[in-house]
Structure 1
């Protein structure tokens, strides 16, 4: 079976072609995976403008499709067996652009459409790890296969942490196709907090990579982090830096971290960043070693740690409460190296396995939509009118 997948839920125009064969399971081969990013276009606005995103999707989809078909070596005979397309959640105008494009192709080729949930795609992106170029997934939902060269997921249920610019959720996964949201953000998503904090400081969009890059620079400074009295359930550490240009004591909140639920709230953290930035009388810029730059690096470190601490604490709380031995990550924020490092370290102490996608599959891509389409073949239809956008679609 060959699936062509289309993903336009936000500002990336993505087309991928995936092929599989097999009886009990499925031997997958990604024939092509093309992503056209709009980051440079939206950077000057500090976020995604839907009208601009739609314009770029309309312009890029035919180009990206042709590149995908050419890359797969099927430009002369492009007809797949089905088309998988993201229907939500996401930005409604962007979703419709991809859906309408998929409908036209499906009608032209007389093939079924498979509606796909973007969040489920992020979860199943873990089965795309380190493709060179083949990997295997079994249909045994109790012990689903992991990409070639990886151990199998030990058991279900699994706790899934989805963190991106628009979503922050903890999902209990009983098996592929059966999910329950047990926690989510009540306001800003983690990625949104990164973006807005970066804008306050004057860093470029997207904010996550920009803040992470600044945070890594403090490794050359003299700093001290106090040790927590106990595990993550106790009072969390705050950062006290002693860089050469001055002393910075930065202590940002970890909102809702002590509450007994699995929900998040990052709007308060964003506000705390704003107040910290406004109150600090930093010295003027004096080249690369200026006190101002060191302060920015220290602040970025603490912003990153505040977000990471909250994500990890809530995820591990869910693991403990539901007695699971598997954590699955998905979404652009989970590409953060420090998040992955700390979560793996904390999970190893609890003998819990953590599965994370390769960085290119943490971000929005169509390969994850193709895999999700494979596992949702029962939803395939030629009644194209039934396929509609749902920007608030729940998993």
Structure 2
């Protein structure tokens, strides 16, 4: 009899805990302290339980937009509360590396509430990288006036190498990175194809008159640069305003580049990468006069994803440094630059063991990370006595 009573009480307690816990932030792991060359840093887990988080954008009210690759857009509050999915997201090709990918706010978001999404869009028997804009109703968790403003000309079968980073230039035009789709790498050198390119478009999808290939016969006018493999990190240099980007190599040959107008970045003709499995060289060499050399290359590959120049006040000794997440090596790379060249690399979070997907500087001046191993949103906090 007593055991029966105890069982009923235990059942009631479990039920009560489930009811009281509904709608609260998900349980978070304890904060961790990591050592860096300039002192100790705390890793604060703000939220967890996200499914394949890919991109992060900060709303003016302190909340954050987070994309989940299976096709969900969520709003995360500063205390870690994760919303239900935002409705109205376009249908995505959620296979392999495809799905819902980047999200950025319009430069005029405060007045127009417009956001931009990149994603793998189903198209006939294949899929392609596409960009849509929409008005966000954050309180109703809804996207309105969804409009596709760009879709790749090419829509081959397969589920790899979508690129998909979105960056607004200082002039208000939008850069979109496009992968080579893996089995179609030779098209990265073809100017009548979007594969393996970075394009520059206006927010309505039209082509700026000053794009570098506008007047070249046979070239797609939206192309900004070409000869890329799979660009999954892009940001503006804080001083020059130039677009910087990094891309995955195969076995070796991950690159950081200054993505300059009209330049050829070599893939798959000029590269430090080698073929998977057999390890044979790809292309004809590692440099050529008409190919822009990388600022940095990693061999072996770290599988870079996400990048941000740091300009905040929370970590003054990191100002001007470039931060790059790594999937394969599960780390955060800190690159020190002088005159546009990398003079030092520090590898952070090597003992943390998480696949870093996105790297952003928040409005608070802290570094924010999305990692896909545990599906967490992380913030790096200074330990004042050590910095």
TM-score normalised by L of structure 2? 0.26
TM-score in terms of structure 1 length: 0.25
Bigger proportion of residues as helix:
1
